């Protein structure tokens, strides 16, 4: 009888739309104390500015007056833009957006569900939670870290690769059963395995994986404005979901730049440039900082499939899909590193200028007093691993692009903050739980891709600076990745980190004055070498010794380039066409 009465309360107003929306609250851990006082639960609606089904749910389910009444009787409604809060976003990212999470006054999860929930079903779910608010088990990766395991076994490497190939679509490219998208670490591994320098590798297989996937992904690049759509819901890449996210642009630009460096197919370079064009034309603010995303739809009544079928003139003649104009440190770091990589292969100075201007803006406006980076504010309580990590990667990318030592020094500074504030007993956490955090919020969150990137960052910094503490931190991160791999999680990034920790990077040094055109030409070609795992230096003796002065270079009457590895260096070369050859000879893959 009680169940019937509650359900009747929820449905009594039918499908009529409310004139006002729910009084959404901002996320604040203090809400748990309020929930205890008012004997209520917390309803967490995780949404995104660019998310079509979030808009639909807000316009139907959450606008239903009966559902609003039922929520307000028993819940405190909280809406969070997932782009604005990385800790909550990563905690629930596997649930997709919108994510609906209900928590009790102690912070325990009592319900969570991914995706759009129509009003009729939502009403039934409210009834179920109100009648039986028992906590549901939360998924956590059961990673048991072995203290001496700092590398993958041959068997484990082979198993991860086999699992990747099992999910590969040999007809259309891409992975999985339905959705097609670009994942940076996965594509980077396939590209690394497709390089001619690989030993004991089925180069033809991996070349097919990379080329077929990236050829298919070109179908979800906007042919008019540029930029890559989030994913395709059709296996032949013909069903784009039209939102454009900075994370997607980062992964795609990184993959297309690398595949062009390896194969020199102009279609790949054009794809990278088309993505960069959208960043440059649509996502830069007047301050030089980058915005966050562009919505799929113009409005609830005009969807992306209609708008994006139009020409440039037709698009500009009327309303356009809104842009989320928040400027987050993490997303800016992604844009900076991506544009720097594109500059490395094109020499387009406008790309480098945009990257350095954005870097300076984030440094001035998002660096917190504790030395890390606030996501949306320059405040200690807004710092997250992803923001500081992205800016460290951006600094290292700008060091590769410019050879300006200040960028390497800044990357090292940011890495020290990561070690201080985010190192956990196992791996690296998004953010340490706040004092007094309750329930599920008292458990630190680790994001796998961020742990991969952090491990690789520390290792490359160790190679460039000679610092042993950075190497030890890389090994610390690798132990966590090994544990994940042993749990049979498919972590392509762990393969990349493992390979890099086990060998020296490709290493090339230009010796000559930085205002010497001959030295500039040598450095410009050196930064195009086809790998992200590159130690690249420019010794201008007027600047003093190199940051990691483990090689002594001779005085020469003209600018020269050297490739070094394992304590030995090549003979000097003096023309750009010889640089790739000498680096390849010492690049022991």
pLDDT of residue 450: 95
For residue 98, give the H/E element and its range: none
Domain boundary among 503, 519, 549: 503
CA distance 186 to 174: 10
Take residue 271 and report the two structure tokens written for it. Answer: 């794809």
Are residue 487 and residue 571 in the same domain, yes or no? no
513 in any annotated domain = yes
pLDDT of residue 357: 98
Sign of the alpha-carbon dihedral angle for 576, 578, 581, 587: negative
Q: What is the pLDDT of residue 109?
A: 84
What does the pLDDT average to over 528-547? Answer: 95
Residues near 457 by beta carbon (within 8 Å), at least 6 away in sequence? 389, 392, 393, 396, 411, 415, 418
Domain boundary (469, 503, 537) is at 503
Strand, coil or helix: 367: strand
Q: What is the mean pLDDT of residues 14-21?
A: 45
* 71/434 Cα distance (integer angstroms): 28
Confidence of residue 489 (pLDDT cuts 50, 70, 90): low
Question: Mean of the per-residue pLDDT values for the chain?
Answer: 88
Query: Is residue 340 within 8 Å of residue 389, measured between CB atoms?
Result: no
Domain boundary residue, one of 471, 503, 535: 503
Give residue 1's pLDDT band: very low, low, confident or very high (50, 70, 90): very low
Predicted confidence band of residue 385 (pLDDT cuts 50, 70, 90): very high
Residues 118 and 166 grouped into a single domain: no
Contact 127, 3 (CB under 8 A): yes
Q: Is residue 91 part of a domain?
A: yes
Tens digits of per-residue pLDDT, 271-306?
A: 999 999 999 999 999 999 999 999 999 987 778 889
Average pLDDT of span 6-35:
64
Please give the Cα distance from 573 to 578 (Å, whole number): 6
Q: Quote the domain boundaries for residue 224.
A: 154-503
SS3 195: coil
pLDDT of residue 350: 98
Domain harbouring 27, CATH code:
3.40.30.10
**Under a CB-based contact definition with an 8 Å cutoff, are residues 454 and 477 in contact?**
yes
Residue 481 placed within a domain: yes
The dihedrals phi and psi of 259, each to the nearest 5 degrees, come to -70, -30
| Distance, CA of 98 to CA of 279 (rounded, Å) | 26
More confident residue, 408 or 90: 408
Residue 245 has pLDDT above 70, yes or no: yes
Do both 230 and 179 map to the same domain? yes
**115 and 235 in a common domain:** no
Residues 15 and 98 in one domain: yes
Q: Judge whether 312 lies within some domain.
A: yes
- Residue 82: partners with Cβ closer than 8 Å, 6 or more residues away: 46, 47, 48, 88, 89, 92, 93, 97, 99
Q: In whole angstroms, give the CA distance from residue 433 to residue 345.
A: 42
pLDDT category at 15 given cuts 50, 70, 90 is very low
Res 353: pLDDT: 98
Look at residue 137 and tell me if it is in a domain: no
From 478, 526, 522, 477, select the one nearest 506 (Cα to Cα): 526
> What is the reported pLDDT for 138?
39
Same domain for 468 and 513?
no
Residues 325 and 466 in one domain: yes
Q: Which residue has the higher pLDDT, 162 or 340?
A: 340
State how many domains the chain has: 3
Crossing angle for the helix pair 405-422 and 448-465, to the nearest 10 degrees: 130
470 and 557, same structural domain? no
pLDDT for the residue 323: 96
Could you give the CA distance from residue 490 to residue 494 in angstroms, rounded to a whole number? 9
Find where tokens 């440094």 sit: 363
Cα–Cα distances (Å) from 438 to 104, 109, 195, 441, 442, in that order, read: 10, 11, 49, 5, 5
Q: What dihedral do alpha carbons 113, 117, 119, 124 form, nearest 10°?
A: -30
The verdict on residue 248 lying in a domain is yes
When pLDDT is cut at 50, 70 and 90, the band that residue 6 belongs to is very low
| Separation CA 117–CA 125 (nearest Å) | 10
Buried b (16+ CB within 10 A) or exposed e, 428-451: bbbbebeeeebbbbeebbbbbbbb
Q: What angle do CA 469, 470, 471 make, to 5 degrees?
A: 90
Greatest mean pLDDT range, 39-48, 136-145, 535-544, 566-575: 535-544
Question: What CATH number did the domain enclosing 537 receive?
Answer: 3.40.30
Determine the length of the chain: 589
Report CA-CA distances (Å) from 401 to 156, 252, 341, 525.
Answer: 35, 19, 8, 11
Q: Is 104 in the same domain as 160? A: no
- CB 424, CB 444: distance < 8 Å: yes
| Residues 258, 278: Cα–Cα separation, whole Å | 19
What is the percent of the chain where pLDDT is above 70? 91
CB distance 540 to 552 below 8 Å: no
pLDDT for 243: 95
Rounded CA-CA distance 303/310 in Å is 12
Please state, in angstroms and rounded to a whole number, the distance separating the CA atoms of residues 526 and 521. Answer: 9
Residues 434 and 535 in one domain: no
Query: Does residue 161 share a domain with residue 13?
Result: no
Q: Is residue 180 part of a domain?
A: yes
| Domain harbouring 348, CATH code | 1.50.10.10
Same domain? For 449 and 344 the reply is yes
The answer to whether residue 136 sits within a structural domain is: no
């Amino acid at each position: 009888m009680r169940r019937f009465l509650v359900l009747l309360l929820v449905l009594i107003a039918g499908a009529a739309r409310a004139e006002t929306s729910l009084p959404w609250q901002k996320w604040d851990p203090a809400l748990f104390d309020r929930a205890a006082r008012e004997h209520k639960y917390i309803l967490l609606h995780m949404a995104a500015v660019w998310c079509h089904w979030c808009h639909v749910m807000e316009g139907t389910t959450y606008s239903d007056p009966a559902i609003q009444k039922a929520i307000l009787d028993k819940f405190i409604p909280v809406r969070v833009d997932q782009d604005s809060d990385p800790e909550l976003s990563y905690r629930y990212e596997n649930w997709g957006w919108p994510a609906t999470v209900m928590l009790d006054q102690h912070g325990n999860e009592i319900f969570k569900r991914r995706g759009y929930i129509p009003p009729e079903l939502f009403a039934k779910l409210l009834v179920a939670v109100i009648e039986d608010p028992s906590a549901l088990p939360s998924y956590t990766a059961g990673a048991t870290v072995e203290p001496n395991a700092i590398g993958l076994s041959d068997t484990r490497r082979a198993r991860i690769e086999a699992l990747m190939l099992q999910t590969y679509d040999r007809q259309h490219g891409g992975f999985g059963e339905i959705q097609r998208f670009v994942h940076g670490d996965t594509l980077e591994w396939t590209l690394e395995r497709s390089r001619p320098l690989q030993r004991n590798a089925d180069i033809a297989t991996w070349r097919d994986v990379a080329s077929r996937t990236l050829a298919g992904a070109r179908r979800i690049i906007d042919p008019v404005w540029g930029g890559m759509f989030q994913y395709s819901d059709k296996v032949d890449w013909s069903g784009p979901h039209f939102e454009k996210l900075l994370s997607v642009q980062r992964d795609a630009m990184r993959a297309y730049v690398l595949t062009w460096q390896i194969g020199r197919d102009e279609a790949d370079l054009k794809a990278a440039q088309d993505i960069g064009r959208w960043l440059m034309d649509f996502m830069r603010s007047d301050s030089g900082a980058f915005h966050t995303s562009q919505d799929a739809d113009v409005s609830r009544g005009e969807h992306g499939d209609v708008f994006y079928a139009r020409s440039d003139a037709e698009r500009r003649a009327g309303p356009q899909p809104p842009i989320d104009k928040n400027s987050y440190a993490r997303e800016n770091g992604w844009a900076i590193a991506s544009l720097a990589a594109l500059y490395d292969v094109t020499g387009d100075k406008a790309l480098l200028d945009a990257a350095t201007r954005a870097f300076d803006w984030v440094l001035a406006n998002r660096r917190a007093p504790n030395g890390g980076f606030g996501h949306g504010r320059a405040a200690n309580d807004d710092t997250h691993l992803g923001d500081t990590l992205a800016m460290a990667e951006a600094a290292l990318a700008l060091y590769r692009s410019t050879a300006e030592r200040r960028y390497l020094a800044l990357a090292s500074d940011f890495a020290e903050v990561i070690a201080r504030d985010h190192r956990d007993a196992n791996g690296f956490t998004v953010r340490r739980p706040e004092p007094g955090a309750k329930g599920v919020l008292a458990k630190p969150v680790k994001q796998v891709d961020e742990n991969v990137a952090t491990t690789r960052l520390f290792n490359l910094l160790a190679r460039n600076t000679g610092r042993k503490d950075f190497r030890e931190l890389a090994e610390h991160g690798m132990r966590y990745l090994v544990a994940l791999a042993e749990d049979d999680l498919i972590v392509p990034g762990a393969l990349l980190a493992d390979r890099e920790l086990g060998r020296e990077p490709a290493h090339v040094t230009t010796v000559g004055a930085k205002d010497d055109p001959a030295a500039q030409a040598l450095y410009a070609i050196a930064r195009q070498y086809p790998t992200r795992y590159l130690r690249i230096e420019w010794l201008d003796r007027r600047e003093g010794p190199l940051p990691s002065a483990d090689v002594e270079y001779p005085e020469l009457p003209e600018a020269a380039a050297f490739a070094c590895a394992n304590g030995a260096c090549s003979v000097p070369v003096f023309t750009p066409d010889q640089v790739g050859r000498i680096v390849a000879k010492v690049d022991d893959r």
